[in-house]
Amino acid sequence: MLNGQKIFISGADQATHMMVVARTTRLRETDDKRHGLSLFVVPMDAPGLELSRMEIDLHSPEHQFFVFLNDVRVPADNLVGTPDGGLRALFDALNPERLLVSAWAIGLGDHALARGVAYASERAPFGTPIGSYQAVQHPLARAKAHLEAARLMLYTACETYDAGGDAGGAANMAKLLASEAANEAIDAVVQAHGGTAFDKESDIVTLWPMIRLLRIAPVNNEMVLNYLAERVLGLPKSY
């Protein structure tokens, strides 16, 4: 029987099933706080499962939801992995998620940059395109270099993952670099558009919330840096 609630569940209205991590052994009954969590597949039409839509200020194809679980019965067959060993199964899914989010960030960065370059090439208030000014060119060029570096890191991480290796370090580096490069790109593109970026019809500043979000979700970049500090550099855990 599952009980609890969770905010920010994307696309819950479109899903047929949901993965739920639930504590199945009390924290005080185990020495290792990572032990005692189990992973379940829960059908969205299970009695006791309710959704409530959140109001999120973001242009996105899916909506976000509060999910409430009140005495939701889950058959034993719906357990993924071993009882109390759900974190291991969950962590197996996190590297592909990092890779997906990196590709998402790079794609958005590429799109924003292409829009910025097109605008800077056309906009010529005094007869000279603003894209000919180095103050406009350099931030766009820098963002391009950082997007390409992030793309290479993503490919390295994908190759490691596909080869069955430990992709944790590379996947986290790709997520960090890709989300930062995309944010650098949209910032340069907004600047190159000047006031036009805020004209709703230009659809430029509207790109910013989604790109900015990728520094926070599905994992914030500070947690990514924590992972790299501890798991890649071998520094002591900070939290």
Ligand X SMILES: Cc1cc2nc3c(=O)[nH]c(=O)nc-3n(C[C@H](O)[C@H](O)[C@H](O)COP(=O)(O)OP(=O)(O)OC[C@H]3O[C@@H](n4cnc5c(N)ncnc54)[C@H](O)[C@@H]3O)c2cc1C
Q: Return residues touching ligand X (CB under 6 A).
A: 8-10, 56, 58, 64, 213, 216-220, 222-223, 226, 239
Alpha helices per DSSP H over 80-204: 86-122, 134-162, 168-193
Cα 125 to chain centroid, rounded? 38
- For 60-77, give the DSSP string: -SS-EEEEEEEEE---GG
Task: Return the amino acid letter for 69.
Answer: L
Least Å distance, CB 58 to ligand X, is 6
Which is nearer to ligand X, 145 or 232 (by Cβ)?
A: 232
Least Å distance, CB 118 to ligand X, is 28
Least Å distance, CB 221 to ligand X, is 7
Least Å distance, CB 189 to ligand X, is 21
Task: Return the amino acid letter for 174.
Answer: A
Burial of 233 (0-12, 13-18, 19+ CB in 10 A): exposed
Which is nearer to ligand X, 101 or 140 (by Cβ)?
A: 101
Sheet holding 79-80: strands in order across?
Answer: 17-23, 37-43, 79-80
Which is nearer to ligand X, 71 or 222 (by Cβ)?
A: 222
Least Å distance, CB 215 to ligand X, is 8
Which is nearer to ligand X, 135 or 233 (by Cβ)?
A: 233
Query: Measuring CA to CA, how many Å separate 4 from each of 50, 77, 81, 157?
Result: 11, 21, 21, 35
Q: SS3 sequence, 224-238?
A: HHHHHHHHHCCCCCC
Least Å distance, CB 197 to ligand X, is 22
